[in-house]
Structure formats: C-alpha cells, structure tokens
C-alpha cells in the first residue's frame, strides 16, 4: 500500500495530536501515525492531571506561548464539550530566593500577570491542607490549575478527524527518509509519502531523531496517589490548589487537588528527582516500597494529612535536554521537509495546543510568528573555530 499526503505526523500524543488538529483545520491532507492506541499510557501524556500556570519559573520567555495555550484550551473545551482544564489556582512555594518562587515572580512581573505573594501564615489560613515553614512564602496565581492529559489528547484527535485527518493507530513507523522534494515513511502496513513530515516522538526521540544533534535523556518518573487522612474533602479543587514546592535542599514536589471522587485520592510527585535513565523499551514499570516511602515522607513535610493511605502509582517518562528547554524547529539537516518537536523535559504538556499551531506554521510556511528562538536545536552546536 502506498499513499500520498500533504503532511505526515509521526506520534499522536500531546504534541502530535495537536499538530494533526491544526494542520487538518488548514485544509491539507494529513496522515497521523501512532505506535499505540489513542490517548495511551505508554509515553508521557497520561496520568490524569498536569499542572498549568502562567507565572513561569522556567523562564519569562515562555509566557506568550502560555497565554496563547490558554486561549486554545478554552477552544478545545468549547468545540468538543470535553472537560479539559480546571483553573483551581496554583501556589509556587518555597524560600523567597528559591527558583520556584523567584522565577515565578520574575515572570509575573515581566508580563504583568495577576498574582499574590503570601507569607507562611496567610498560606496556612487560606489553604489549611498546606503547612509551610515560617521562612517560606508562596506566589499564588488564580489562573493556574490542572489539565487532563488523556482528555486533551482525545479532544485534539477528535477535532483532527472532524477536519479530515486520517489517523492510524497501532501502526508504528519503521523508518523515515527524505524522498526527492518530500519524505517517505514506512510502516509494516505500507509506505506513505508526503511533502512534509512532522515528528513528535516523545520518549522515542533518541531513535527517530538520531541525527538531530541534540542529546535527549529519557528518564523514568513516578506519579503517586494517596488518600488523605480524614478524606478528600479539604483537597477538593474549590479548596485546594495545585502546587509546586521547593525546599531548602532544592527538591521540588508538585501536586493536585482530589479530582477523581472520594476514593481517588490526591496526586503528588517529585519534579526531576531520581529520574533513572531508561528507554521506552527498558523502563521499569514496577514502583517499589522505598520509592513510595520517600514520596510519602517528602509530601508529609508540606501537607501533613496527605500521605495517609497509599493508593497507587504510575510511571511515565521525561525527555530531557541538557538545558531543560524544548526543541521545536525545522530539522537542521532536513530543513525543507521535516519539522520536529521533542525534549519537553517534564514541563511541556501545558503548551500542547500552541505547539501544534507552531508545528503547522513551520510545516506549511517554514516560519511562525510565535517566539520560538529559545527552542532552536542549533543552540547545542559547537561554536565555530
């Protein structure tokens, strides 16, 4: 079987499903290829919830993209009727000079984002589930909240198909190559050609983008759910915010309200700690007792009633670049026909709808008005001699 399209999208997780949606809505013939089923749990776009926020400690350069992402999330909900986002508020907590607090404050002030600075006493008063040390503060952002990753992917796939995209699941790409003025992609089911290729490989980036010139480390990460002592009532979204908390040892913990009913518990995890290198094929999906104990102990320092009863855990993967910024660009070695999005380093999901918009721009026009110079893979190239 051999078919020709305008654009082929490899990978239909968060970024790829968004790219397929935006491309199809622009009236081009789109083929999406996915190794697994729709909205699967084998990569990174799963786990029931992801934090979204605008006061961005990773860099003020991200804020314009976040503002656009918020607009597109609202459109996803409006056009599909699916519950994608819950803006329950968010607290970035720690000592005043911590990256989590100071970086968030810098972004908020740079872009004049609504926010409040709360001292420890005020945090305890407003959010009784939280127990900061006396020398800790928090930046509170009412427009922060949570996203549902599986629902987001489902919504984007639904809009892509509605706009005419052809989506193939359980059909992994075996190889891709340039073919004349376009590209050729081979799978076990057939060979497909197109003028443009968009690659959103997630944790498969080291294999599918071996010639990109970017070191991407795949790391095993764990998400945990605990039943709070006394029940989930105080942890409901109208009473308990999302949070990222950095302690004096620079360890960050993040967590969520209870969104899965009275027996679903509250989710918490470490951010970039103990991320053992792995591959999608070798990741250890078993979560061990010592890992659960370490998470419970760290969470209990900030949320005394949270560890309660351990309910479950799940593994996912970070695809981390050396500087923890993304890669979104035309492929330096295949600039006429290949666009890539990878290396989202554990903080990329909140950007998925705008990344898809950017990828559609790059594939169809070779450029975008969105500010993406930070994500150029050539930043890792050795300086000329």
Distance, in Å, from the CA atom of 163 to the CA atom of 167, rounded to the nearest integer, reads: 11
The domain segmentation of the chain, as residue ranges, is 3-45+150-209+324-380, 88-144+217-321
SS3 track for the chain: CEEEEEEEEECCCHHHHHHHHHHHHCCCCEEEECCCCCCCCCCCCCCCCEEECCCCCCCHHHHHHHHHHHHHHHHHHHHHCCCCEECCCEEEEECCCCHHHHHHHHHHHHCCCCCEEEEHHHHHHHCCCCCCCCCCEEEEECCCEEECHHHHHHHHHHHHHHCCCEEECCCCEEEEEEECCEEEEEECCCEEEEEEEEECCHHHHHHHCCCCCCCEEEEEEEEEEEECCCCCHHHCCCCCCEEEEECCCCCEEEECCCCCCCCCCEEEEEECCCCCECCCCCCCCCCCHHHHHHHHHHHHHHCCCCCCEEEEEEEEEEEEECCCCCEEEECCCCCCCEEEEECCCCCCHHHHHHHHHHHHHHHHHCCCCCCCHHHCHHHHCCCCC
- Which residue ranges in the chain fall short of pLDDT 70? 1-2, 385
What's the pLDDT at 158?
98
What's the pLDDT at 181?
87
Distance, in Å, from the CA atom of 227 to the CA atom of 205, rounded to the nearest integer, reads: 36
Rounded to a whole number of angstroms, the distance between the first and last alpha carbons of the chain is 48
Distance, in Å, from the CA atom of 142 to the CA atom of 187, rounded to the nearest integer, reads: 46
CB 13 within 8 A of CB 7: no
- CB count within 10 Å of CB 281 equals 8
Query: Which tokens sit at 22?
Result: 């935006």
Distance, in Å, from the CA atom of 232 to the CA atom of 342, rounded to the nearest integer, reads: 36
What's the pLDDT at 1?
55
φ/ψ region of 112 (left if φ > 0, alpha if ψ in -120 to 50, else beta) reads left
What's the pLDDT at 248?
82
Q: How far are the Cα atoms of 93, 100, 242, 250 from residue 135, in angstroms, in the given order?
A: 11, 15, 21, 15
Query: Which tokens sit at 246?
Result: 């950095």
Superfamily of domain 88-144+217-321: D-Amino Acid Oxidase, subunit A, domain 2 (3.30.9.10)
Q: What is the pTM of this model?
A: 0.96
Q: Residue 154: name the closest of 29, 18, 23, 10 by CA.
A: 18
Q: Could you say which architecture CATH assigns to the domain 3-45+150-209+324-380?
A: 3-Layer(bba) Sandwich (3.50)
How wide is the angle at C-alpha 12 spanned by C-alphas 283 and 347, nearest 5°? 60
Strand order in the sheet with 252-255: 116-119, 137-141, 90-94, 242-246, 252-255, 266-271, 216-227, 309-321
61-91 residue pLDDT tens: 999 999 999 999 999 999 999 999 999 999 9
CB 302 within 8 A of CB 161: no
């Amino acid at each position: 079987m051999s078919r020709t399209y305008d654009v082929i999208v490899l990978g239909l997780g968060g970024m790829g499903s968004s790219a397929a949606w935006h491309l199809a809505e622009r009236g081009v013939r789109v083929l999406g290829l996915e190794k697994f089923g729709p909205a699967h749990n084998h990569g990174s776009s799963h786990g029931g919830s992801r934090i979204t926020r605008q006061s961005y400690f990773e860099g003020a350069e991200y804020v314009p993209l976040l503002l656009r992402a918020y607009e597109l999330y609202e459109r996803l909900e409006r056009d599909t009727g699916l519950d994608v986002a819950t803006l329950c508020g968010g607290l970035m907590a720690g000592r005043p000079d911590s990256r989590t607090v100071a970086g968030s404050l810098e972004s908020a002030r740079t872009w004049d984002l609504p926010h409040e600075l709360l001292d420890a006493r005020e945090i305890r008063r407003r959010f009784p589930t939280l127990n900061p040390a006396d020398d800790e503060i928090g930046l509170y952002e009412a427009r922060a909240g949570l996203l549902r990753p599986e629902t987001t992917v489902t919504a984007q796939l639904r809009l892509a198909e509605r706009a005419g995209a052809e989506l193939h699941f359980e059909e992994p790409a075996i190889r891709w190559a340039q073919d004349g003025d376009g590209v050729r992609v081979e799978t076990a089911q057939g060979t497909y050609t197109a003028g443009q290729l968009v690659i959103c490989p997630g944790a498969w980036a080291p294999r599918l983008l071996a010639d990109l010139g970017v070191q991407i480390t795949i790391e095993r990460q764990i998400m945990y759910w605990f039943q709070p002592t006394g029940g989930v009532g105080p942890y409901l979204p109208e009473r308990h915010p999302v949070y990222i908390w950095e302690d004096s040892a620079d360890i960050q913990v993040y967590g969520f309200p209870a969104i899965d009913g009275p027996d679903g518990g509250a989710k918490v995890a470490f951010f970039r700690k103990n991320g053992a290198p792995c591959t999608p094929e070798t990741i250890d999906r078993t979560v061990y007792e010592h890992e659960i104990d370490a998470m419970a102990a760290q969470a209990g320092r900030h949320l005394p009633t949270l560890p309660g009863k351990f309910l479950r855990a799940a593994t996912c993967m970070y695809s981390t670049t050396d500087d923890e910024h993304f890669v979104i660009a035309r492929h330096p070695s295949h600039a006429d026909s290949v666009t890539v999005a990878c290396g989202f380093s554990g903080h990329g999901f909140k950007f998925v709808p705008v990344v898809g918009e950017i990828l559609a721009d790059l594939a169809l026009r070779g450029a975008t008005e969105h500010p993406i110079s930070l994500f150029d893979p050539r930043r890792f190239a050795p300086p000329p001699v």
